[in-house]
Structure 1
Amino acid sequence: MPPKQYRLLDLGPSPAAGPLADEKLLDEARTGPVACLWRADQGLVVPRTYAARPGFSAAQADFASQGWPIHVRQSGGGVVPQGPGIINLSLAQPFSGRPLDHADAFYQHLCGLIAASLLFFGIEARAQAVEGSFCDGRYNLAVGQPARKIAGTAQWWRRITPTQDHPAASQEDHPTQHIGLVHALILVQCDIDQATRQANRLEAALDNPRRYRSSSAISLDQCLNPPDRADFIHQLWLRLESEILRCPAL
């Protein structure tokens, strides 16, 4: 049997797709692996744990009035920026068994896809934590020495039951139990200082002592010679599309 390929979804014109556009992939992935590329307007996105903090509603209203609306996502992690200079890449597919059995491999799969796309432009990226970066984790993508973050990742898993898709099937007949979604936020052509400043403002507004350093991240276009920067976000988008369609799903 040939390997399953990702079906690349069109979520509509960017950035109109919105900062939570990929969450619809969880339903689309019931019939097989799916992927999407998308961009969103300027703002901040936080996990549900932030929405539960005292003062969140007031901070949300304040940031929105200043052109930085705050959106709440289902996946974990921390506060991240969004904006036209950021490319989002999301993959979703069915898995059998526990999410923990697949989580690391799914992260590695996503990171490998992005790293292969960047290598086409002569940019060598690797998965690692970067101290001081917003939404830090083991499966950031980073470049250079010392390491500077160029992408952050997160996951979301939804349990499904056999009766949702095949009412007559037993658990043995239909062993798939979860849909996994893995997401990367790629800093392509953006103002890292401004993004870091806004993330720190939000942490302060919520009385969280966590702070980030702009020196811990870098916009990918800064890794290129100036003549190559102008159309880079479009060229990287096309390269990511090509890699998604070429790369078999897990």
Structure 2
Amino acid sequence: MPPPRPAVYRLLAAPFEAGPLADETLLAPAIREPVACLWESAPGLVVPRTYAARPGFAAIQAQFAARGCPIHVRQSGGGVVPQGPGILNLSLAQVFAGRPLDHSEAFYQQLCTWIRLALAAFGIETRAQAVEGSFCDGRYNLAIPDPARKIAGTAQVWRRIPGHAPDRHVGLAHALILAQGDPGEWTARANALETALGSPRRYHRDRIATLESQLPITERPGFMAALRGRLQEALRTLPPLPITTPARPREP
């Protein structure tokens, strides 16, 4: 009989040399068991492969690196996002059977629900929604309401498992959490890249917010450490999703 499936995700340390792409190091160990990672990265920008295919990208990447803002290319989709102190990254990875489309929404919902519950302990109310004008906007952002401002963005990566049944995939769900820092500086960095690439797309500083800004001033000292501890504590009790789910009907 196969060994019993772990009841929770195993929390792994992020290799320092992996930088803002540390989540991609979870794809291999996730074949054996569900794993998770929580980390911060040095300042820079992260973009999907579609950006790397644009004319002049390599030269622009070298220019930004020379200015102390390296640009990293990730495997997941979406848009440009900043990295740096005060931005927490959280990823979950596990094996699924069937088409990724059958699991992707539940995987997003699990990640968002788990973060929402952790933030509720600090009295911060969030909901999953798009926030037009924010960088890397998507349906499974997490936002604070009235008016809606993004405090976290999400993305996924799916990979087939070599040597296994063709319907076996590793799914990786990632969240970038704007915990503490300067939304204006993050937005300016993202806009600078869009400008350099000749893109008309621009982002707005007032469409994002930090979690720390939602707290009374007296509660802000030590918030990052408390948030990290709360997220790690929650991870230790988070059960993985079922490997299989009822198949969705195929589109005609």
- TM superposition score normalised by structure 1: 0.92
Q: What residue number does 2:240 align with?
A: 249
- For residues 190-249 of structure 1, give each alpha carbon's deviation from its aligned partner in whole angstroms, at most 9, with x where no partner exists: 110011011011001111111100100001100001121121111100000011111111
Q: What residue number does 1:208 align with?
A: 199
CA distance in 2 between partners of 1:155 and 1:231 (Å): 30
1:64 aligns with 2:65: yes
8 Å Cα contact 2:11/2:37 also seen in 1 = yes
Deviation, structure 1 residue 4? 2.6
Q: What residue number does 1:195 align with?
A: 186
1:1-250 equivalent positions in 2, closer than 5 A: 4-12=7-15, 17-161=18-162, 163=163, 171=165, 177-250=168-241
8 Å Cα contact 1:17/1:38 also seen in 2 = no
CA distance in 2 between partners of 1:142 and 1:57 (Å): 33
Deviation, structure 1 residue 2? 7.7
Identity level (%): 61
Runs of 4+ in 1 over 2 A off after TM superposition: 1-4
CA distance in 1 between partners of 2:104 and 2:122 (Å): 28
Q: What residue number does 1:167 align with?
A: none
- For residues 2-60 of structure 1, give each alpha carbon's deviation from its aligned partner in whole angstroms, at most 9, with x where no partner exists: 873100001246xx651101101000101111000011000000001100101111211
CA distance in 2 between partners of 1:98 and 1:140 (Å): 23
CA distance in 1 between partners of 2:179 and 2:226 (Å): 11
Match of 1:20, SS state, is helix
CA distance in 1 between partners of 2:200 and 2:82 (Å): 19
RMSD between superposed Cα atoms in Å: 1.5
Alignment coverage as a number of residue pairs: 238
CA distance in 2 between partners of 1:12 and 1:51 (Å): 24
8 Å Cα contact 2:161/2:170 also seen in 1 = yes
- TM superposition score normalised by structure 2: 0.91
Give unmatched runs, 5+ long, in structure 1.
Answer: 165-170
